[in-house]
Amino acid sequence: MLSYQHSYHAGNLADVHKHAILSWVLNYLTKKDKPLSYIETHAGRGLYDLASEAAAKTGEAAKGIEIAQAWFKGSDPYIRALAAIRARHGKDHYPGSPLIAQSLLRPCDHITLAELHPQEVEALRGAIRAGFDRDQRGATVKIHHQDGFDLAQSLCPPDPRRGLILIDPSWEIKSDYNTVPDFMASLSRKWNVGVQLLWYPVLRDGTHVHMTRRLSQLFPDALCHEVKFPPARDGHRMIGSGMFIVNAPWGLDVYGRDLTQKFRRANS
């Protein structure tokens, strides 16, 4: 039974961290005039209404993107995608990763998304359909109502081989902390050129640490980027956000250092 719903958390500081890095990588890969594959194992609903009851209940976006957007230049790919999606859907809306990808990718690119929750996948289909006008061409998008780990295993190596996968579980299933490193190692054996972006929560009790240690053993050259921020509520376990990046593009470490500086403001 899936109980996690991203609507309560969309636009929080973890999303800012994840989506800024995702946008940077998408922008980097599209500089080359060659098509690419974009895969997501855990897509969510694609578009979030920050004026909704769910968003108001936690107030996470108000302490996240609504403050953090001032940290970025307007030319940053994340802010460009955010502005384009808000111009289309209204300023109260926040894009999930599938819409960010749809906004930054080109007609020659291929997007494949998995989402297991029946309502979320329905909403995702609607958000992707509404992403462009009928006469506009964007990347080809396929949406699967399926387990994202299974889909990625069956799809990799994708065609085209250039590209990236975003692995963004809700971490409701505690065994994911044990199984994700082996999942990523298996993908890497099949698709050694693929960029893998894993998001994970930085937790007060350190639950994530054995996973990041194992990942660093499996991928000694990978980039691990973590930022810290105040918990959303008193007693909340999440005190930061982590991205583990296999085959990190050149220059991402520099962007990461800049992001670290930006997040220092969240703590001051």
Ligand X SMILES: C[S@@+](CC[C@H](N)C(=O)[O-])C[C@H]1O[C@@H](n2cnc3c(N)ncnc32)[C@H](O)[C@@H]1O
Which residues in this chain contact ligand X in the complex, by CB under 6 A? 2, 4, 6, 18, 41-44, 96-97, 114-117, 120, 147-149, 168, 170
Closer to ligand X by Cβ: residue 175 or 268 = 175
Question: Is 168 considered catalytic here?
Answer: yes
**Measured distance CA(129)–CA(159) in Å, rounded:** 23
Shortest Cβ 52–ligand X spacing (Å) = 15
Closer to ligand X by Cβ: residue 35 or 148 = 148
**Measured distance CA(238)–CA(25) in Å, rounded:** 25
Phi, psi of 231 (to 5 degrees): -60, 150
Shortest Cβ 33–ligand X spacing (Å) = 27
How many alpha carbons fall within 13 Å on the CB side of residue 7?
Answer: 17
**Measured distance CA(51)–CA(47) in Å, rounded:** 12
Q: Which one from 15, 76, 109, 168 is the annotated catalytic residue?
A: 168
Closer to ligand X by Cβ: residue 170 or 216 = 170
Shortest Cβ 19–ligand X spacing (Å) = 6
Axis-axis angle for helices 148-155, 176-190 (nearest 10): 10
Contact indicator for 124, 44 with CB cutoff of 8 Å: yes
Beta bridge partners, 48, equal: 94
* Tokens 């609903």 -> residue: 45
Q: Which residue is nearest to ligand X (CB)?
A: 96
Closer to ligand X by Cβ: residue 95 or 256 = 95
Shortest Cβ 109–ligand X spacing (Å) = 18
3-state secondary structure of 110: strand
How many alpha carbons fall within 13 Å on the CB side of residue 106?
Answer: 13
Catalytic residues: 168
